[in-house]
Amino acid sequence: MAKASRYKGQLRDAGGFIAIPHAVVDSAAYRGLSVHARAFLIDVARQFKGSNNGALLCSRAHMAPLGWTSNDMLTKCTRELVAAKLLHQTVVGHRPNKAAWFAVTWLGLDRLNGFDHGAAESFVRGAYKHADPLPSPKPSRAQMYDRWRAPAAA
pLDDT for position 64 = 95
pLDDT for position 39 = 97
Q: What's the DSSP call for residue 109?
A: P
90: alpha, beta or left, given left = phi > 0 and alpha = psi -120 to 50? alpha
pLDDT for position 65 = 96
**Cα–Cα distance list, 108 to 46, 52, 67 (Å):** 16, 10, 28
pLDDT in tens, 102-114: 999 999 999 888 8
pLDDT for position 2 = 58
Q: Tell me the HSE value of 3 on the side-chain side, using a 13 A CA sphere.
A: 7
Low-confidence ranges of the chain (pLDDT < 70): 1-9, 133-137, 152-154
Domains along the sequence of the chain with CATH:
19-131 (1.10.10.10)
Structure pTM?
0.78
pLDDT for position 5 = 64
